[in-house]
Amino acid sequence: MHRIALLAIPALLLAGCASTPAVDDGRVHVVASTNVYGSIVEAIGGDLVSVTSLIDSGAQDPHSFEASAQNQLAVSKADLVIENGGGYDDFVDTLLDASSTTAIVINAAGVVNLPQGANEHLWYSFSDMQTVAASIADQLSSLDADNAETYAANLTDFSGQVSALADQVAGTGEGRSAAITEPVPLYLLEQAGFENATPDEFSEAIEEGTDVPPAVLAETLDGIGSVALLAYNSQTASPETEQVKTAAEKAGVPVVEFTETLPDGEDYISWMTSNLAAIAAAIE
């Protein structure tokens, strides 16, 4: 599983952050590990929330992220903190441990009962995100009971949009196979009905940042011409993934790029809509 590094923060800075009182501006202050969860909070909370996403750009590589003293300060002032869990963003727990915050913490992997060792890229699972969104709405309502009806209404709207995406993708890849460079978009491909044709040893090695065994790389390259598309994580490239991408392009296999965080200017719904459009265009 990917582990995101925590930059060493001077103890005096940490101590100062930990004692900083929360901002009282009438809004619920939320810290999300990535802008994916930040976007979902904004969809449910609207102007009633202030959201800080620690990883807030599609240009950032989540695997090399280093938390800062500013991140620590944001956590110390938060009313609600949202992390993916499952080993993906352990830096959030480190920040929480270094702070005296009393913030409510939502661990998405825990909310959806993710089995240990399972694919932790939950945001590509529409059903899981609906479950997490419901938890977010519940916790916002507990922190701001006066606006509970607004949070509930926004949740209904968001869940409806996610359900529409799930209906749109269902069965579109039935009877087809896909190759992946990493498990990042695997939940989405499974919802479409694609069969994963990539050797587990390949995607696991790429995810862990280790060398792909030569025999496994050869097997992956040999099978690339028989798949309907290659799902390529454009935020984490390596010589092996570039070889697979080149082989797919030479074989005329469409390459569909996926990211782990929101591209700039996108929200969760528009991002997933673009992902579905890219899949549809690849297999038409």
Q: In sequence order, what are the residues at sequence separation of 6 or more whose Cβ sits closer than 8 angstroms to the Cβ of residue 156?
A: none
Task: Give a yes or no: residue 6 inside a domain.
Answer: no
Q: Report DSSP state, residue 29.
A: E
Let me know whether 18 and 133 are in one domain: yes
Domain check: are 88 and 147 in the same one?
Answer: yes
5 domain residue, yes or no:
no
Report pLDDT digits (tens) over 187-214. 999 999 999 999 999 999 998 889 999 9
Q: Tell me: the pLDDT tens digits for 224-274?
A: 999 999 999 988 889 999 999 999 999 999 999 999 999 999 999 999 999
102-154 pLDDT, tens digit each? 999 999 999 999 999 999 999 999 999 999 999 999 999 999 999 999 999 99
Calculate the alpha carbon distances from 90 to 107, 120, 194 in Å: 11, 12, 31
- 2 within some domain: no
185 and 139 within one domain? no
Terminal C-alpha separation, the chain: 33
CATH number for the domain spanning 223: value is 3.40.50.1980
Q: Examine the fold and report which residue of 168, 202, 227 is the final residue of a domain before the chain moves on.
A: 168
Whether 210 is in a domain gets the answer yes
Using DSSP, state whether 52 is helix, strand or coil: strand
φ, ψ at 147 (rounded to 5°): -115, 20
DSSP-derived 3-state class of residue 78? coil
Q: Are residues 92 and 136 in the same domain?
A: yes
Q: Which of 134, 168, 202 represents a domain boundary (last residue)?
A: 168
- pLDDT at position 65: 81
pLDDT tens track for 24-80: 789 999 999 999 999 999 999 999 999 999 999 877 777 778 889 999 999 999 999
Rounded to an integer, what distance in angstroms lies between the CA atom of residue 206 and that of residue 195?
19
- The number of domains in the chain is 2
The whole-number pLDDT of residue 100 equals 87
**Residues spanned by the domain of 213:** 177-283
Question: Which regions of the chain does DSSP assign to beta strands (E)?
Answer: 28-34, 49-55, 80-83, 104-107, 177-180, 195-196, 229-233, 255-258
Same domain membership, residue 16 and residue 35? yes
Whether residues 187 and 65 share a domain: the answer is no
Of 168, 203, 228, which marks where a domain is finished? 168
Is 141 among the domain residues? yes
Residue at 43 is within a domain: yes
pLDDT of residue 22: 52
222 and 199 assigned to the same domain: yes
| Residue 113 and residue 39 share a domain | yes
Note whether 184 and 210 are same-domain residues.
yes
pTM of the predicted protein model: 0.90
Joined tokens for residue 181: 């460079």
Whether residues 126 and 234 share a domain: the answer is no
Residue 4 placed within a domain: no
Residue 35 lies in a domain: yes
Q: Are residues 121 and 214 in the same domain?
A: no
Q: Which long-range contacts (CB under 8 A, 24 or more apart) does 145-151 make?
A: 147/48, 150/46, 150/48, 151/44, 151/45, 151/48
Same domain, 183 and 162: no
